[in-house]
Amino acid sequence: MEQLKLFFNSLRYDAALRDVATLLGYAVVGGLLGLYVRAIFRRFASTLSNRDTFSANFPLLVVITILVIYVVKSSLALSLGLVGALSIVRFRAAIKEPEEIIYLFACIAVGLGLGAEYLGITLAGTAVFSLFVFVTHFVRRKSREHTMLLTIAGPRSEFFDGDAERITGLVAQAVGPFTLQRLETDGELVQFRAVVAPDDVAHVGRMIGSLQKQLPACRVSYVNLENLL
């Protein structure tokens, strides 16, 4: 009888040790995948916030999600306790752009998959996510390759000269279609900003020359928006 008790105790010990080893293995894999998602975010995200600071906690987010799911997945009581705990915890993260939320959900999804011990599915999902990030970045970069921000600043008389539509007509004539981003007046000073997409960057000099010829008292500048990211 005593030997049987020792046998069952050894089985429990082996099972607990196996669970700990499994959890550690998934946590290490999750941390590495969190670092991978962080690297993708820092390289391909278009957000203007501090990418390095925002993504610093991605690996920790993955690991803690794995721990939570691994602990509660086999216990209904623990699952209900987790729901109750989350209902009274307030998260105050400064999420400025939707793209940041997408990467946070990617980290949580990795943690959920590994915490539920779906290693293959998690790796496959991460690969598909990476593929779409690469494709989206390539398409976005191509579409923004010649996208520029046109800024014109100068006296009110140069902009309007008795005609409220004068400046828009001059810009359309010089650069073609544009999207008005900002028109600001400060006393006698006016600042006009528009997003334009010239067919060829070689035409930028000609466009600036045309605008300066028609608005000699104004300051005209172009900024390549792709270089800002």
Task: Flag whether the pTM goes above 0.95.
Answer: no
pLDDT above 90: percentage of residues in the chain: 15
Burial degree of 165 (CB within 10 A; 0-12, 13-18, 19+): exposed
**Which of 29, 37, 167, 4 lies closest to 105 in space, CA to CA?**
37
Q: Give the model confidence (pLDDT) of 108-122 as tens digits.
A: 899 888 888 888 999
**Placement of tokens 């981003």 in the chain:** 181
Query: Do residues 61 and 67 lie in contact, with contact meaning Cβ atoms separated by under 8 Å?
Result: no
Query: For the residues 158-184, what does the mean pLDDT come to?
Result: 73
CATH for the 148-228 domain, from 3.30.70.2690, 1.10.40.30, 1.10.540.10, 3.40.50.720? 3.30.70.2690
Domain ranges of the chain: 2-143, 148-228
Distance of CA 149 to the CA centre of its chain: 22
199 in helix, strand or coil? Answer: coil
Query: For the residues 205-213, what does the mean pLDDT come to?
Result: 76
Query: Is the pLDDT score of 229 beyond 50?
Result: no
Q: DSSP states of 157-180 as a string?
A: HHHTTT-TTHHHHHHHHHH-SEEE
Higher-pLDDT residue of 193 and 96 is 193
Query: What's the pLDDT score for residue 92?
Result: 57
Query: Is the pLDDT score of 177 beyond 80?
Result: no
